[in-house]
Amino acid sequence: MSKKYELVTFSDETGLWQIRALRDFGSVKVGDLGGLVSGGHNLSHEGDCWVFDSARVEDYARIFEDARVSGGVRVEDGALISGNARVFGDAYVSGYARVENDAQVFENARVSGNACVSGNARVFGDAHASGYAHAYGKTSVRYSMQICYSHHNKPIQFFDLGKHSITVDGEYLNIGCVSRTIKDWLKIAPRVGKKEGYSEEEIRRYMRCIQMIHDEVYEEN
């Protein structure tokens, strides 16, 4: 496999190289300038993967297969973007996170830690998937949602009640970045709420929401 790009301009300010295509592939034509990389290890010479616009791929992050990153995206640390994945807008992928298959991460979304976004999942808006979160299937993580853990291949529901959002993931609830089963939350939520400084009214509001979710989930089962 012949090389498909070369490193052409080094920036002392960023410590990154701009890339230029050496042959036609996908939507890229020979001579096209691409985004910025730390070195040749960041972007595979195989497949149709490419770094567009002012996107940056740094450290030991890798883009391979047919993945594309564009816009003002930053991919850092040991993150991996593969398959037909698309990362665009001002999204940020870091840590050992993975975006793969036909997944998309865009707008101001953040994927970090050991999180994985795969299948046809979408992470966008100001959403943040971190920790060991796994968004897959047709999941949408959006707006200001924060997902730290994920357990099931089902669409994730989101409730914004104030201090901490509630996300419903199968039989689990993530409140803030604490993940427990729905039944566990029914037992511990009042105690956790008091510890977090919630008012009695706020605790009652969360409890009503948790009870509603419980009834819906277990009625379906």
Number of H helices, E strands in the chain: 2, 24
77-87 core/surface letters (b: 16 or more CB in 10 A; e: else): eebbbbbbbbb
CA 4, distance to chain mean position in Å, is 28
Q: For position 71, what pLDDT does the model report?
A: 97
Q: For position 113, what pLDDT does the model report?
A: 87
Distances (CA, A) of 84 to 38, 45, 68, 110, 113: 22, 15, 7, 19, 21
Q: For position 97, what pLDDT does the model report?
A: 94
Ordered strands of the 172-175 beta sheet: 157-159, 166-169, 172-175, 178-181
With 0-12 / 13-18 / 19 or more C-beta atoms within 10 angstroms meaning exposed / middle / buried, residue 143 is middle
Q: For position 156, what pLDDT does the model report?
A: 58
Q: For position 79, what pLDDT does the model report?
A: 97
Q: For position 162, what pLDDT does the model report?
A: 67
Q: For position 35, what pLDDT does the model report?
A: 97
In order along its 221 residues, the chain shows pLDDT tens digits of: 689 999 999 999 999 999 999 999 999 999 999 999 999 999 999 999 999 999 999 999 999 999 999 999 999 999 999 999 999 999 999 999 999 999 999 989 899 988 888 888 888 877 788 777 777 665 666 555 566 655 545 555 666 666 777 877 778 888 877 888 999 999 999 999 898 889 998 899 889 888 888 888 777 55
Q: How many residues does the chain have?
A: 221
Q: For position 157, what pLDDT does the model report?
A: 64
* C-alpha Rg value of the chain to the nearest Å: 20
Q: Are 106 and 127 in contact (CB under 8 A)?
A: no
Q: For position 70, what pLDDT does the model report?
A: 97
DSSP string, 105-116: E-TT-EE-TT-E
